[in-house]
Amino acid sequence: MQVFINGSFYDQADAKISVFDHGLLYGDGIFEGIRLYQRCIFRLDEHLERLECSAKALMLKLPWSRAEIASAACEACRINGLVDGYIRMIVTRGCGTLGLNPNTCSDPQLIIIADKISLYPEQYYEQGLKLITAPTRRVNPAALPPMVKSLNYLNSILAKMEAVNLGYMEAVMLNDQGYIAECTGDNLFILRQGELLTPPISSGNLRGITRSAVFDIAEELGVPVREVDLTRYDVWTADECFLTGTAAEVIPVTELDARPVGEGNPGPVTARFIAAFRDRVVREGTMIE
């Protein structure tokens, strides 16, 4: 595999940055996860816009234009011979001295990894995921805005470990008010009485690109969608539930905290959203050729 770093490609074993990079030392950087379907990058422009917004929020100046980053992403897919895959785009603050001061850093690093990914085994898309609620709470939005997709994922990693150690693939994370924020890396939707509900960004969840696509699909399917504070009780008593994310795509949920969601099987409306999402990923993609 060839990895892009600042304008050049390197063999996987030779793809390196400095140990003094503040992205490594302090998690000072941002990233995007992007999907490639049939040589088409799904919603590339939206991902790049979110990358730019994350950089601006962190006062991290990007020395590359959006067109240059897009071109590098396409080339990374081509040089690795990908038809379907996953693009991890990383920007670090760059090399600096020990200490938190970002003004000691120079030369931000742009790293693009284009490879394959399978977040959940295929059986879970057919049978649904079983979730638990993690004891670890989501970081308060006032401390770190959830719109910033930063390199610091320790909050989610702790919750993921809590789930995995108990035999679960994923966990729901609550905010400090007890409302659902999201899962460790996916947005959450429930269906109740014909209406699609999802937590607002103010609850502490990421403004997901796949989440946005689901809003568009809901309009196409004539399913009302609304952002509203949700509790665990709302999921326990929902008719259906599913998660969304770049790596996860759209995946059904059949249980939370040992309580079946709906009938305990993936619901028919969820199936419609999965089918509609898979239908549009190429239509809304940017060809890498």
Q: Give catalytic residue positions.
A: 149
Token output for 19: 């140990």
What 3 state SS string does 201-266 have? HHHCCCCCHHHHHHHHHHHHHCCCEEECCCCHHHHHCCCEEEEEECCCEEEEEEEECCEECCCCCC
In sequence order, which residues have a C-beta less than 8 Å from that of residue 107 and are 6 or more positions away?
6, 94, 95
Contacts of 155 (CB under 8 A, 6+ apart): 136, 138, 139, 173
Cβ-count burial 238-265 (b if 16+ within 10 Å, e if not): bbbbbbbbbbbbbbbbbbbeeeebbeee
Q: Which residues pair with 51 in a beta bridge?
A: none
Number of CB atoms found within 10 A of residue 84's CB: 14
In angstroms, the CA 46 to CA 196 distance is 23
**Residue 131 three-state SS:** strand
Tokens read off for 227: 């952002």
**DSSP character for 3?**
E
- Contact 190/238 with Cβ under 8 angstroms? yes
Helical H segments across 139-185, by residue range: 154-164
28: nearest Cα among 88, 86, 87, 103: 103
